[in-house]
Structure 1
Amino acid sequence: MKRPGPLLTLLAGLVLGLFMLTLNATSGTKTASSSYSEASPSASQKTPPTPSATPSPSPTPSPSKPSVANANYAGRTDDDAASIAVSVRDGKAVAYFCDGRYKEAWLRGRVNNNGSMKLTAPNGAVLDGRIEQGKKITGTVKDEGRPYTFTADKAVKPSGLWRATAKVRGAKIDGGWIVLPNGRQTGIVTRDGKATSAPRIDPETGAVTVDGQQLTAQPVTP
């Protein structure tokens, strides 16, 4: 019997080597997709939201100041039956309506930013007026059911509105005066509620003599 030849032995070695090479390649290599899957972070992981900034509180608006300038006004009704004086301070107004004999009314109220005003008196009188360009007040005073239209020009002291209150010989005295820019005066003094024409005052000092007693009238402001 003959031994296998060298050729057969060499062929068997080659077959065995190819088999071992194929086995190592199959067991030791991973696919690119599996390697990427292990290296990649989880798709479900999310970035935490950034907290929103707390809004700062809005500053409290400062109260608006009245836009109407402080001033005094004095004038006559259109029929020249009575005088009217108005004093405006810090958005408020006081007015005096007087015919110099027996008819009078003290009126008070607010002045709107557009210059309009509606003033009222305890006796029911009502003044509806408006400041025009800071130079004059035009309007109507309704007293005892009768309307009086008027124009009151801007007045500078000693023109304007004056008042004096006191007790003279046991009687309660209440006097009101309107001094016009031309120096004309209109006023009434009431003694315990009874009205009479007022004596003239000194517009420079406010001095006035009532029933033999000297009083001092003061400028009127709201």
Structure 2
Amino acid sequence: MKRSGPLFTLLAGLLLALFMLTLNATTGTRATSYGEESSGRDAAPSASPAPAPSLDTPSPRTPSPRPSPPPDATYAGRTADDTAAVSVSVRDGKAVAYFCDGRDQESWLRGDVEDDRSMRLTGKGGAELEGTLRGNRVSGTVDIRDRTWAFTATKAVKPSGLYRATAEVRGAQIDGGWIVLQNGRQVGILKRDGKPAAAPGIDPATGAVTIDGTGLRARPVVP
């Protein structure tokens, strides 16, 4: 009876050890050392790297500068063969021109001045002026009645320029056009009821002109 005490104690210790081994084998857990992460869920999530800027991102486009509008001015000159005069008046991108030989041929032409300073003006009877404004001059050609004249017209300073007068005088319809060149020379045609003739001179300072005893005023032409 005295020996059963130690045996009982030894048997109890063996049973406890066997129970612990069985428990560890069943749960599959293991002790972790100090400082070691116990599971992936306990670790702080790592920050995602910022996406690199795309190399295909287009750079902002710089708007193309708009061409400057043609300056408002009047140009006057002669044809290359010196048989006629041409004047072109430009305002706000519009143009009006007058071709005149001072005897019996004339034409009024109108149109737009393009961004590249070119112009194509048209008039009655298929008349056409094609020109380009460069600096202080307009150069180009005039086509009237199957004839072509090359011309150059330089910037006019008053009183040179382009003038016109229309009125009814003694029952006749008067329509006169004048080109006053830079040297003071005048080239013009006066029509009475559509019949052309050389125009009398005007006072360039005031535009005053006398037609058939009646005083009229020729005014600068603008588009």
Which of these residues, 31, 54, 59, is aligned with residue 29 of structure 2?
A: 31
Quickly say closer, same or farther: Cα 1:220–1:30, change in 2 above 3 A.
same
TM-score of the aligned structures, taking structure 1 as reference length:
0.79
Structure 2: which 5+ runs fail to align? Answer: 32-37, 44-62
1-structure distance, mates of 2:130, 2:70: 16
Structure 1: which 5+ runs fail to align? Answer: 42-60
SS in 1 for 2:126: coil
Which of these residues, 127, 130, 143, is aligned with residue 128 of structure 1?
A: 130
Letter in 1 for 2:187: T
Task: Name the structure 1 match of 2:11.
Answer: 15
Consecutive aligned runs of 4 or more in structure 1 exceeding 4 Å deviation: 24-30, 63-66
What is the Cα deviation at residue 123 of structure 1? Answer: 2.1
Please give the residue correspondences for 1:131-170 in structure 2 after superposition, counting only pairs within 5 Å.
131-132=133-134, 134-170=135-171
Quickly say closer, same or farther: Cα 1:67–1:32, change in 2 above 3 A.
farther
2-structure distance, mates of 1:22, 1:168: 140
What is the Cα deviation at residue 22 of structure 1? Answer: 4.1
Task: Name the structure 2 match of 1:53.
Answer: none
SS in 1 for 2:15: helix
Task: Name the structure 2 match of 1:52.
Answer: none
2-structure distance, mates of 1:214, 1:32: 124
1-structure distance, mates of 2:67, 2:42: 68
Percent identity, please: 55
SS in 2 for 1:93: strand
Q: CA RMSD in A?
A: 2.8
What is the Cα deviation at residue 9 of structure 1? Answer: 2.6
Task: Name the structure 1 match of 2:88.
Answer: 86
What is the Cα deviation at residue 70 of structure 1? Answer: 1.7
SS in 2 for 1:123: helix
Residue 197 (structure 1) aligned with residue 198 (structure 2): yes
Q: How many residues align?
A: 198
Moved more, 16-25 or 175-184: 16-25
